[in-house]
């Protein structure tokens, strides 16, 4: 799990260094003048558009834009799931340890019962004669 978290952390670090990642939404569009697809970073607060990539096939542009937008959410959900899994693993370990402790207790009580039953049903020695 630690390796996975490290991987996603590195992936997020790479994403955060992309063009205006912290304040823009990437969009793809067709450039009628040149006849190709492009990717732009659109900063809503400013209304400005900044080119990111040009001469990109349509499917690639759509995929890159979608992944750029979804990646932070994917990472957030993975980290939440990893944290939940760790908590459940800790709870499982605690429950397994508690179960083992009760099992040892039962074994000790069974041994004590066996000893008491043996002493109860043992034939008394008649040392008085």
Q: Does the pLDDT at position 123 exceed 80? A: no
**Residue 54 domain-assigned?**
yes
Overall average pLDDT of the 3-14 stretch: 94
Helix (H) or strand (E) holding 27: strand 25-31
Overall average pLDDT of the 121-129 stretch: 67
Q: Total structural domains in the chain?
A: 1
**Residue 88 domain-assigned?**
yes
Overall average pLDDT of the 107-113 stretch: 96
**Residue 19 domain-assigned?**
yes
Q: Does the pLDDT at position 39 exceed 70? A: yes
**CB of 67 within 8 A of CB of 52?**
no
pLDDT, tens digit (0-9, with 9 covering 90-100), for 44-64: 777 899 999 999 999 999 999
Q: Does the pLDDT at position 73 exceed 70? A: yes
**Residue 63 domain-assigned?**
yes
Q: Which domain holds residue 39?
A: 2-94
Q: Does the pLDDT at position 129 exceed 60? A: no
What pairs with residue 53 in β-bridges? 39
DSSP assignment letter at 122 = S
Q: Does the pLDDT at position 128 exceed 60? A: no
**Residue 108 domain-assigned?**
no
What pLDDT score does 121 carry?
A: 87
pLDDT band at 20 (very low <50, low <70, confident <90, very high): confident
**Residue 118 domain-assigned?**
no
What pLDDT score does 22 carry?
A: 85
**Residue 99 domain-assigned?**
no
**Residue 101 domain-assigned?**
no
């Amino acid at each position: 799990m630690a390796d996975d978290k490290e991987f996603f952390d590195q992936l997020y670090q790479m994403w955060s260094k992309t063009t205006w990642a912290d304040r823009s939404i990437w969009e793809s569009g067709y450039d009628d003048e040149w006849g190709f697809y492009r990717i732009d970073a659109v900063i809503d607060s400013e209304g400005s558009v900044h080119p990111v990539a040009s001469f990109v096939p349509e499917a690639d542009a759509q995929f890159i834009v979608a992944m750029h937008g979804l990646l932070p959410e994917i990472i957030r959900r993975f980290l939440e799931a990893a944290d939940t899994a760790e908590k459940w693993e800790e709870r499982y370990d605690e429950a397994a340890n508690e179960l083992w402790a009760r099992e040892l207790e039962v074994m000790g009580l069974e041994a004590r019962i066996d000893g008491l039953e043996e002493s109860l049903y043992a034939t008394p020695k008649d040392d008085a004669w």
